[in-house]
Structure 1
């Protein structure tokens, strides 16, 4: 359940959040606020997907199997 909620966060942040932050001011690193919002969510999406990868139990099983094969 937690993995599904984490996976939905980028969708919610980018697609559903943009209408609420659709303004030019304040500027974030010289970008309009809405563009800064989207860039931030692209970066956060990568971080969230890395967290999901680490928490997914099937990935732990694959890693454990690959370590057993090595001499």
Structure 2
């Protein structure tokens, strides 16, 4: 897999990770770290999305051309 395709895949995962999981959450009853599951899911994807975008920025070939 080329770096460009990997960047697109990681961006797709980061963008659709949060909204695609929400319909499968049946209730807010289970608590994780003191948060209702839906709130925990959204906060988790904020951090995961940020981490994925950092990875995309570091492996993106066009970003390396701009900095050099």
TM-score, length-scaled by structure 2: 0.82
Deviating beyond 6 angstroms after TM superposition, the runs of 4 or more aligned structure 1 residues are none
Unpaired stretches in structure 1, ≥5 consecutive residues: 65-71
Unpaired stretches in structure 2, ≥5 consecutive residues: none
Q: Which residue of structure 1 aligns with residue 9 of structure 2? A: 5
- Mark the structure with the bigger radius of gyration: 1
Aligned length: 64
Higher RCO, Cα 8 Å, sep 6+: 2
Distance 2:15 2:25 in 1: 15
